[in-house]
Structure 1
Amino acid sequence: MAVFVALGAFLMTLAGGWTAQRVTDRRHLVLGLAGGLMLGVVGLDLLPEALGAAGREVFGVPAALLLFVVGFLLAHLVERLLAGRPQAPGSTPAAGTPVAPHGGDEHGHRAPEVGLTAAAAMVGHSAMDGVAIGAAFQVGGGMGAAVALAVIAHDFADGFNTFTLTTLYGNARHRAIGMLVADACAPLLGALSTAFFRIPEPVLGGYLGLFGGVLLYLAAAEILPEAHHEHPAHSTLLCTVAGAAFIWLVVGVSG
């Protein structure tokens, strides 16, 4: 049953990525929406789950929040290390590479590896979504249905963000599609894995906190500044608010 439900997450992820591809002429709106979706997922979905699962404190701070800060700093460190690599003399960026002042290297070009790393983290998160579905069905049918609804609904945002993150950093379209397909397959594999093992709840909570920090950094330091850089329009801001509100609706319905 868990694997069958995860098939819905597979389809929703592909639908989200397809949507991101079809609106390239409104890139600032795509990025604004993606930023809002990511903000909503972190603040309204990941962090509450992480705080509930991780439980323990480290020097008076909940372990999930400590790992959240670590994830934010880790994302910043990785981006600085990759973006700060020297370019070969006379080198030019690949065709289609976006040029922007936010997060770029000294030549203003983004490091494609950052986008691939972020997309890989999304794939890992989607795999954990599948694990969550399988674990919930082990508890009971009602719990499984509630978790499945939340996962399937926000996997549309996952697919949307995976494609957007990959292409934002100058990766070719075929790479973005490859990461999108991997992200879509990940919940199926995660749900299937629950037939063989269980992930301890504190470990799962710590992972969610860490991943939440990474996502918040990407949304606040990269996605949203890029969205407003060339098109500082009210419509972009409205898309950001709509993205966060959508995740709030999903969390409220599934709760």
Structure 2
Amino acid sequence: MSGATIATLVFSAVTFFSTMAGGIAALRWPGRRQVLMALAGGVVLGAAFFDLLPDAVGRASELGMQPVVPLGAALAGYLVFGLLERSAGHRHEGAGKGGLAGLVGAGGFVVHSFFDGLTIGLGFEVSLSVGVLVALAVIGHDFSDGLDTVSYMVAHGQPVKRSVGMLVADALTPLVGAVVAMVLPVPGVVFPVAIGFFSGLFIFAATGRLLPLAAPLGFRRSTLLALVGVLFMFLISRLA
């Protein structure tokens, strides 16, 4: 087994613990639900605008692709996840707590984590130093991925057991993505479109669910907390 392969597996495994730590923090803070929603909403928005969208546009530029492609994918992601979430919510109104509401969006977070793993694997294929830098950036923001996944499930009234299951899935998928990157060729054109698409999901999750649930805190307090989340993701994105 080569050094790059070992490094890929080790660093992608560390993302598991980072993601779990973020989700556990959300689960252990149930009494501050509105505060948590404001922080998570800011983190999600910061991830979309400071991490995902710039990354998608940058990758598109490297491939000679017009920026409108990943930006259009972001709009498509926003609309698709919005329609799916609202459809799931309407179908299960009155069907008891949870239903399918929230599972679509949280599932989108899980798929996004798979692409994080792909990025780690491809980074180590370029060089050890590039792989380490990419992996550290992913590990840093995977804490917020766990926080966001659980917060989104909680925001939709999902039970703790189901939220934990989605958190574990979110924590495991980077490792799966890294393994896929090692064994299968991934066309570069996939990344700007996929990353753009999931940035649309992040924007919908923040504006359509998380931040509205923080409204009872009052405009000033909820905005301040959201800005703290945005600033956190801005600083994390600078690591990359």
TM-score, normalised with respect to structure 1: 0.86
CA RMSD of aligned residues (A): 1.6
Q: Which moved more, 1:35-44 or 1:140-149?
A: 140-149
Aligned with 2:217 (options 220, 231, 238): 231
Give the Cα separation in 1 of the matches to 2:175 and 2:96.
36
Paired amino acid for 1:194: A
- 1:246 paired with 2:229, answer no
Code of the residue aligned with 1:237 in structure 2: it is: T
Residue 119 of structure 2 is aligned to residue 132 of structure 1: yes
Output aligned runs, 1:66-215, within 5 Å: 66-85=72-91, 87=93, 91=94, 93-94=96-97, 112-215=99-202
Distance in 2 (CA, whole Å) between partners of 1:141 and 1:114 is: 41
1:23-62 deviation digits (Å, cap 9, x = unpaired): 11111110001001100100000001111223423xxx62
Q: Is the 8 A contact 1:40 1:247 kept in 2?
A: yes
Aligned counterpart, 1:221: 208
Deviations 1:164-212 (A, max 9, x none): 1112112111000000011111111111222211322221110000110
Gaps of 5+ in 1: 98-111
Structure number with the higher helix fraction is 2
Aligned-pair CA distance for 1:93: 2.9
C-alpha contact (below 8 Å) 2:85/2:105 kept by paired residues: no
- Taking the aligned partners of 2:164 and 2:85, their CA distance within structure 1 comes to 22
How far apart in 1 are the matches of 2:164 and 2:89? 23
Structure 2 CA distance for aligned equivalents of residues 86 and 14 of structure 1: 29
Counterpart of 2:3? none
2:19 equivalent among 13, 16, 24: 13
Q: Which secondary structure does the structure 2 equivalent of 1:114 belong to?
A: coil
Asked if the contact 2:122/2:182 (under 8 Å) is kept, the reply is no
Q: Is the 8 A contact 2:81 2:104 kept in 1?
A: no
Number of positions where the alignment pairs a residue of Structure 1 with one of Structure 2: 231
Aligned equivalents of 1:219, 1:86: Cα separation in 2:
22
Task: State the percentage of identical aligned residues.
Answer: 35
Can you list the C-alpha shifts for 1:60-117, whole angstroms capped at 9, x where unaligned? Answer: x620001111111112211232233375xxx5633xx6xxxxxxxxxxxxxx423111
Any gaps of 5 or more consecutive residues in structure 2?
1-6
Q: 2:46 aligns with which of 29, 40, 46?
A: 40
Q: TM-score, normalised by structure 2?
A: 0.91
Q: Specify whether residues 62 and 13 from structure 1 end up closer, same or farther in structure 2 by C-alpha distance, changes over 3 A only.
A: same
